[in-house]
Structure 1
């Protein structure tokens, strides 16, 4: 969910209250990771998920109970052994926190919603219980692990991984649809004015560019570059620019092993070093998926981009940074 606090603010204004369910910690096998969350409305409607199944059903039931009981604690914590307590086969343990928000919390929720909408924020969170409220300390910098007195580093807002997609043909259009619900921010480039559809997902920015290779220089260093234009010569031009920059964790070109061999030869003749050429991914997409229909190719490429996003996030985890000494 990219708009947790906006949803909570709207529910308070429309229905008087809302509950936020967060997975605080897990041990062993569990449906979702620490930090997964969902919002529960007084009537039981939900946004987001903590994994489905009995754990989620039980969390919704507890959330509806504390929403109906205005005198109960603002935060409840529950720990479940998923097998013995809930009959789930995961076999692990999950601790959840359920926070109730009402009219008295609108100022604080509104401030969180503004931060969320302005690019997102991180907070070092100490979840409350029946004796004390939840405390969120807003981070001044990037947080990677919670301070000793906190349970969890939470991130809120739209923090999507950049993708630079070249080509608005059949496969490009299919890939855009495959990436629409995923955590990516896509810059979609083509040199043809009539190539783009009239409507496109909200995580996509279309760029009409007569020389698309020029976009490579200004792309974020962590961007995942996917090349599938209508022209092999254009593919090669963009590929050379992307590999020469030597910052992108992924540079992929649609095509066969034969196309890759030809590109490798041409890139070497143009003076590109072997280490750069070795980073070229072609064919693209996770192996083992057969079929050349655009939606099938798109599914395989989307899966590969998710793998690359996960690897990049794991490789860029740095040291913990400071947290402000104030609480909203």
Structure 2
């Protein structure tokens, strides 16, 4: 299988990888400039000539995968010198991360806005889990890049997301929205939390969450209304475009960070939501 076919197959599977390419070869061991190797967390595909250089390249690529690095890197290896040899020469390798999701997103709710939003998110460099207790609400065809999750205990799915995830809540039930909000805010390790609704809904939720003992600074991280204020309209697709735009703005603001954490400033500081999201 060629490296191009390998990349296409890994992309279809949603598996991140690093493409390693020999850019300049001046070593004593013959290697072909332009040779490529594809590295995943579990396997390597193709070869750049084997030996200690290939091992070091694989090691570095997997470090990049583990850290979630999105940045292309050029690295110079002088393995002969490092092994005490006088004529090892040097090799320059290019490391290109591929398929690493910019955001892992949980979308709660398969209603009208959810059905408009998930295809947009699935077309972005994101990994999307689409969650609802009502299987009949999902469309027959789930977009490639999204995973359908049917669970009667919807709130349990909050704990199944990794740190730094994006949470979008737009269910059919305000009490369920509140329980999800409490579970997400309790974690306080998300990169983004958006709740569909109006300013009135936000005020009610803030009051109820404070009554449950939540710190106002934590509650402030909740985006409600969510979405770009500049994108007007009440149609599901218009609201979906607004929310997707805010997601893009958020992960672009975090670009280059290895991990999201609760220390990240609230998205409210980035983008004023001056409009409504009608639930």
Same fold judged by TM-score > 0.5?
Answer: yes
Report the Cα distance in structure 1 between the residues aligned to 2:107 and 2:10, rounded to whole angstroms: 29
Q: Please tell me whether residue 309 in structure 1 is matched to residue 251 in structure 2.
A: yes
Partner of 2:147: 205
2:34 to 109, 119, 134: 134
Alignment of 1:230-245 (within 5 A): 230-245=172-187
Report the Cα distance in structure 2 between the residues aligned to 1:135 and 1:228, rounded to whole angstroms: 48
**CA shift at 1:185, angstroms?**
1.5
Report the Cα distance in structure 1 between the residues aligned to 2:197 and 2:14, rounded to whole angstroms: 39
Unpaired runs of at least 5, structure 1:
1-8, 10-105, 319-328
Q: Please tell me whether residue 122 in structure 1 is matched to residue 44 in structure 2.
A: no
TM-score by length of 2: 0.67
1:176 to 107, 118, 121: 118
CA spacing shift, 1:277–1:157, aligned 2, 3 Å: closer
Unpaired runs of at least 5, structure 2:
26-31, 37-56, 77-91, 261-279
CA deviations 1:156-176 (Å, max 9, x no partner) are 346452110001111110101
Report the Cα distance in structure 2 between the residues aligned to 1:260 and 1:215, rounded to whole angstroms: 23
Partner of 2:73: 146
8 A Cα contact 2:102 2:251, kept in partner: no
8 A Cα contact 2:75 2:94, kept in partner: no
8 A Cα contact 2:14 2:145, kept in partner: no
Aligned residues: 212
Partner of 2:127: 185
CA deviations 1:242-296 (Å, max 9, x no partner) are 0110111111100111111111110000111122101010001111111110000
1:188 is paired with a residue of what secondary structure? strand
2:193 is paired with a residue of what secondary structure? strand
8 A Cα contact 1:128 1:135, kept in partner: no
Report the Cα distance in structure 2 between the residues aligned to 1:221 and 1:268, rounded to whole angstroms: 24
Q: Please tell me whether residue 257 in structure 1 is matched to residue 199 in structure 2.
A: yes
8 A Cα contact 1:119 1:159, kept in partner: no
CA spacing shift, 1:226–1:240, aligned 2, 3 Å: same
